[in-house]
Amino acid sequence: MLDWLTARVGYDASALKLGEVLAVNPGGEIVWRKERPVVVRGSYESSVLVGRGSSTSDMRESAERSGFLVSSDSLWISGNPVKFLQGHNVFGPPASSLGSLIRSVIRKLPDGVKPPDADSELWASMHASRCDLNVMVDLERHASVHEWLRDVGSISRTRHGRPMVSGATVTWGKGSRRWSLVAYCKFCELAAHPFADVGINERLREFVEGQVRLEVRLHGLELKGRGVPDESWLWEYFERVEIGGLEMESLKAGRPALRPVVELCFGEWMSGKDVGCVLPRRTFYKYRREIIESTGIDISIPRCEQELAVEKAHFDVEYLRQHEVKSIPEGLQQFLFRPDKCPAYSF
């Protein structure tokens, strides 16, 4: 499903009333000014940012070619359209429904923000600068999800280097201007950020209990010329994740330098020693935290066990694809937004 979109959309935003951020020099003159997007909350307390942006040449060309709406002052929108429309993003319409999702969001905007041509039967041209796509993979048990996240956080890397591990979330390429990947436990996220209706939240949690969420975040440089967004793109990027051993040299490459005393502790662990038996408890856990933040390696787990995790991780893309969740139980269908058919958008 589509999980986030930041884009200029061809609706007319010329009359949109926005605040401004100003920079004023000591003499009282305005150095620069920038319009500030407004936060719009939907029926489910989920929000999107709405602002104004100039249409691009690609937007104007697609409008001319396909009869799409376009305005020189186009609407700018950023947020999770699925969550805005149905209140949760556990599951949702496919990414191919992008145009219909955005049209539905625009038509639900309140007066004063809603563009005058929001109810037009014409589709709006679009230029995206960020698009997040995700899938859920069934690992059968909640414990398996955390084992999988721990293992791949320890033994994987991309061209960006080792992933960042934070709790039950593993991120490859964090901060990249082109693409990044995220894997996390949706079951735990729904506990930390529950749906407003407790009963619905528990039903959604029960559905995702043994599932891991995989997500690719694509930015403008990566989106240009890609064509219609599709969840299959995610697997293309997960194929770039490499699974390997724990060689010292590969761990040193591309990671922040550890403090000398922590580097010494890490070296001892790499040589096979149980450093937890040597260091004072508080010191050990302090060093452990620093090493996890730098390398993604957990020194509380013996090196030999982490090397065996290559087999346990089931990181093979074909294995993950075979276990992708593609159907929603009949009892949860009522919580799925069903969009109209829309044209094939290309960024």
User: pLDDT by residue (tens digit) across 3-41?
Assistant: 999 999 999 999 999 989 999 999 989 999 999 999 998
pTM: 0.77
CA atoms 157, 161, 165, 169: torsion sign:
negative
Give percent of the chain with pLDDT exceeding 90. 49
Residue 292: per-residue pLDDT: 79
Output the average pLDDT for the chain: 86
* Mean pLDDT on 155-183: 89
> Which of the pair, 311 or 294, is modelled with greater confidence?
294
Residue 209: per-residue pLDDT: 94
Q: Where are the domains of the chain?
A: 1-124, 248-308
Rounded to whole angstroms, the Cα distance separating 68 from 13 reads: 16
Residue-wise pLDDT for 193-223, tens only, equals 888 788 888 999 999 999 999 999 999 889 8
- CB-CB contact of 4 with 95 (8 Å): no
Q: Where does the pLDDT of residue 82 fall: very low under 50, low under 70, confident under 90, or very high at 90 and above?
A: very high
Q: What are the tokens at 247? A: 């060689």
Residue 347: per-residue pLDDT: 61
pLDDT of 166 higher than 60 = yes
SS3 135: strand
- CB-CB contact of 59 with 10 (8 Å): yes
Residue-wise pLDDT for 219-248, tens only, equals 988 988 787 888 999 999 998 888 765 555
For residue 75, count CB atoms less than 10 angstroms from its CB and return exposed for 0-12, middle for 13-18, buried for 19 or more. buried
